[in-house]
Amino acid sequence: MALPVPSALREALAALAPAAAPGIRTQSPADLHVTLHFLGMADIEAVRAALAAATAPAFTAALTVPGRFFSRGHPRTLFLGVAPDAPLRELHAEIGRQLEGAGFALDTKPFVPHITLARLGEGASADTIATFLKQRLAPEARPFDCREFALYASDTLPEGARYRVLERYPLG
């Protein structure tokens, strides 16, 4: 489950990502989204039924600053933060309630809203990462309207994950 990033904003966000290089795999602009919950392998029809019961108002999300996630002490993901404002937190909680009510186990890690721009592996340049983290968005690029959330499927390919929208759920 994720918030789609509007097409008008995708290219601008993708331009913030470092260029693909050894140890750096960028996300395709078409795949940019804000993950709300990740389930992994799950019964799609049961997920669809749970999500159909979720209700939340539409809202505007604000982009924040670049960041990185670590795994085993190494940076593994470069992202652009999304402000964890009340409407976004409430949507996350509402979807979580519906999924738990349908018997799904949720991730226990704290919700850190973000848009993944690149994945890092061995050989990723520390200078490239530092340059990415120093970037700032133009003020007009920061807010975006959230009028729906979507159920995504992830297809694992040699060049990385690609995402498909299975169903859209309106907010409002």
Q: What is the pLDDT of residues 16-73, one digit of tens each?
A: 899 989 999 999 999 999 999 999 888 999 999 999 999 999 999 999 999 999 998 8
- Residues 99-105 have a mean pLDDT of 95
| Token duo for residue 118 | 């690149």
**DSSP code, position 21:** B
What is the homologous superfamily of the domain 2-170 according to CATH?
A: Cyclic phosphodiesterase (3.90.1140.10)
Question: What are the extents of the domains in the chain?
Answer: 2-170
- Which letter, b or e, does each residue of 106-141 get, where b requires 16 or more Cβ atoms within 10 Å of its Cβ? eeeeebebbbbbbbbeeebeeebbeebeeeeeeeee
pLDDT at 90 over 70: yes
**Percent of the chain topping pLDDT 90:** 76
pLDDT at 68: 97
**Percent of the chain topping pLDDT 70:** 97
Assign 86 to helix, strand or coil: helix
pLDDT at 75 over 90: yes
Contact 2, 71 (CB under 8 A): no
The pTM assigned to this predicted structure is 0.92
Closest CA to 13 of 29, 31, 35, 30: 29
| Token duo for residue 26 | 């960028």
Closest CA to 124 of 24, 25, 19: 24
Would you place residue 14 in the very low, low, confident or very high pLDDT band (cuts 50, 70, 90)?
confident
Bridge partners (DSSP) listed for residue 152: 165
